[in-house]
Structure 1
């Protein structure tokens, strides 16, 4: 699987901005790309909240893989964003 060059928190913040602005979600702009580019930093606190929630895998996630690796990866994403 390829890795993203964009930090996870920024990707989450961009999704949150896009959902607010784009007509593909709750917004009204049919072409919100440039607005998302400008607005995503305003959503970093929300992105961090999502990451903090993701620190602990649920039961099915834990059964599928290495929970300690998951926790370490999410903690790195939090540190990158802070």
Structure 2
């Protein structure tokens, strides 16, 4: 299994920040990368909310794998600190 060098909380915060500022999503910036690098931490609360929602797998997810493993993995992501 591959893994990322960035904690999931940070990756989600970066995606939320990018979505808010990139012209490819809801924003106006044609290149939001530098903005995201500077401001992703402002989206950590939103990222935490997303992860809290993800703790409980839906029916399709539960049918695809082990629910308890999923819950433990998401809990680990919630408690892991993002690189600040």
Q: TM-score range by the shorter chain?
A: over 0.9
Is the 8 Å Cα contact of residues 57 and 70 (structure 1) preserved in structure 2? yes
CA–CA distance in structure 1, aligned partners of residues 78 and 65 of structure 2: 21
| Contact preservation (8 Å) 1:24, 1:30 | yes
1:72 is matched with which residue?
A: 72
Q: With the length of structure 1 as denominator, give the TM-score of the two structures.
A: 0.96
Which aligned segments of 4 or more residues in structure 1 are displaced greater than 4 angstroms?
A: none
The TM-score normalised by the length of structure 2 is: 0.93
Unaligned runs of 5+ in 2: none
| Equivalences, count | 82
Structure 1 residues 18-38: Cα deviation after superposition (integer angstroms, max 9, x where no partner): 001110101111111000011
| Structure with greater helix percent | 1
Task: List alignment gaps of at least 5 residues for structure 1.
Answer: none
Alignment match, 2:41: 41
- After TM superposition, the structure 1 = structure 2 runs for residues 3-82 of structure 1, keeping only pairs within 5 Å, are 3-81=3-81
CA RMSD of aligned residues (A): 1.1
